[in-house]
Amino acid sequence: MLLPYLLHWAPPTTISFLYFVLSLLFLLRILQSGGASGILPLP
């Protein structure tokens, strides 16, 4: 596949951008699930 090839030649800015997008999606998922309790159920 081309994925390892693209990852090998991806500039650091692209990698950091991907991490940024993933973190945004993760935060949105937390907010939509009702805060931190959606992931870490508190006793």
Q: Give per-residue pLDDT as tens, 1-43.
A: 567 766 666 677 787 888 899 999 988 887 777 665 655 655 5
Rg over alpha carbons for the chain, rounded to the nearest Å, is: 15
Using DSSP's 3-state secondary structure scheme, residue 42 falls into coil
pLDDT of residue 2: 67
Q: What is the pTM of this model?
A: 0.48
d(CA 30, CA 28): 5
pLDDT of residue 30: 77
b/e sequence 31-41, b meaning 16+ C-beta within 10 Å: eeeeeeeeeee
Which pair of tokens denotes residue 40?
């870490």
CB 9 within 8 A of CB 18: no
Q: For residue 34, give the DSSP letter.
A: T
